[in-house]
Amino acid sequence: MFTAWDGYIVGRTTALEPARRIVQTWRTADFAESDADSQIEVLLEPLPAGTRLRLVHTRVPDRLRGFEDGGWQAHYFDPMRAYFASD
């Protein structure tokens, strides 16, 4: 079990293929108790100059699909890019 953002997100890793694939259940504090967990699948593909990351987020309640409007980019990928560029 893991938590993120001070407990706003909770989940569990359900599959792990090192350097290839990570699958996790996710739910936020905004999910209703009746909502099923969403699923995150992270696919990693080696490239000559790094790694391509493909993220697929499914089973999200319709009312919480803001990540499709840039939530993943703004809250995860942009900060990661800045962090790793600062070394």
CATH number of the domain enclosing 61: 3.30.530.20
pTM of the predicted model as reported, rounded to 2 decimal places? 0.80
At 80, phi and psi to the nearest 5? -65, -40
**Predicted pLDDT at 74:** 85
Per-residue pLDDT, averaged over 13-39, amounts to 95
Distance CA 36, CA 26 (A): 9
**Predicted pLDDT at 7:** 93
Q: Tens digits of per-residue pLDDT, 27-76?
A: 999 999 999 999 999 999 999 998 999 999 999 998 888 766 677 888 88
7: left (phi over 0), alpha (psi -120 to 50) or beta: left
Distance CA 52, CA 11 (A): 24
CA distances from 72 to 9, 18, 60, 86 (A): 13, 22, 13, 20
Name the token pair of 58. Answer: 């499914």
As a whole number of angstroms, the longest Cα–Cα distance in the chain is 45
- For residue 81, what are the domain limits? 2-85
Structural domains of the chain, count: 1
**Predicted pLDDT at 81:** 86
